[in-house]
Amino acid sequence: MPETAMNAGQVSGFYMPELAKVYRTCRKETDIIIEAGMHSGRPLGHMPGQFVQVSVFGYGEVPISICSSPTRTPDRFELCVRPVGGVTKALYNKNSEDWIGIRGPFGRGFPVDLTKGKDILVVAGGIGIAPLRSLINYIMDKREEYGRLIIVYGAKTPDLILFTSDIEQWENQPDAEVYLTVDEADNSWNGRTGVVTLPIREIEIDPARTAAMVVGPPVMYRFVAMELLKKDMDPDNIFFSLERHFKCGIGKCGHCQLNDLYVCHDGPTFRYSDLLARTEAIEAWAPEKDQD
């Protein structure tokens, strides 16, 4: 079984949502961070890159990445939600003491065991930072087990940058390299401007000892893959997390099918080399072979 795949024998929280209590929320105009804990008291038991199916009673159920690291507060977990439709807007309105339903954790997360000893290049676009924040804090807590930690994070505008206090901490770590950029600057911004591929170009990496973990909008994947291949990275060492419409979240209903794969069960994290043969996955963002 893959190292972070769900435990298929697990019954509790597998088909039936379990109650979880909202302990704390941090709401901004564009998103909310919800800290919750299982009513049963069981630790969520997730790994970075996994997701939960979150129910808002009377509204529905949606997949949301777990954005906290399992190395911190094992009896609590955090979700970062951007309100885009019915269920996520209902989640956005949650307050402490409210109840939500949780199934999971599900899916295959980032290959944290397989990449031990390697330099880790994290590339996040937009809300893609949510699962990667779990990974980054996991690596921070096991720092001696990994090589360099390089974090590239791009947001559309400065007000859309998430986890600003984490970013400040990462920037203050001598053994982390942080490249933050925005597509469109405003008067409050005196940092980098431009898409995430620009800082990637600047960074010198040893392709043989680097693993890249990438989460963001599909259009970003095409260009990030191009930059990483230009740096001689092997597609075996590049990992993308994919998004599809999920229903069951456990490989039963076929809603998330991508060629012969179920994204919810076989992913959401995939090796780039495994996606190259899956036309459905890469037709929108694969680098063209003749592009230099």
Q: Which H helix or E strand runs over 224?
A: helix 218-230
| Residues 174, 22: Cα–Cα separation, whole Å | 35
C-beta of 114 vs 258, nearer to ligand FES: 258
Q: Is 123 in contact with 214 (CB distance < 8 Å)?
A: yes
Q: What 3-state class would DSSP assign to 199?
A: helix
Q: Does 146 bind ligand FES (CB under 6 A)?
A: no
Q: Does 253 bind ligand FES (CB under 6 A)?
A: yes
Based on its alpha-carbon atoms, the radius of gyration of the chain, rounded to whole angstroms, reads 18
Question: Among ligand FAD, ligand FES, none, what binds residue 88 when CB lies within 5 to 8 Å by partner kind?
Answer: ligand FAD
C-beta of 65 vs 181, nearer to ligand FAD: 65
C-beta of 6 vs 212, nearer to ligand FES: 6
Q: Does 254 bind ligand FES (CB under 6 A)?
A: yes
Q: What 3-state class would DSSP assign to 91?
A: helix
Which are the contacts of 46, defined by CB distance < 8 A and separation ≥ 6? 52, 66, 70, 77, 104, 105, 109, 134
Q: Which stretch binds ligand FAD (CB under 6 A): 60-68, 114-122, 156-164, 170-178?
A: 60-68
- Interacting positions 214-253 with ligand FAD (CB under 6 A): 243-246
Which one of 36, 127, 213, 233 is in contact with ligand FAD (CB under 6 A)?
127
Q: What 3-state class would DSSP assign to 163?
A: coil
Q: Does 8 bind ligand FES (CB under 6 A)?
A: no
Chain residues that interact with ligand FES, rule: CB under 6 A: 246-249, 251-256, 262, 264
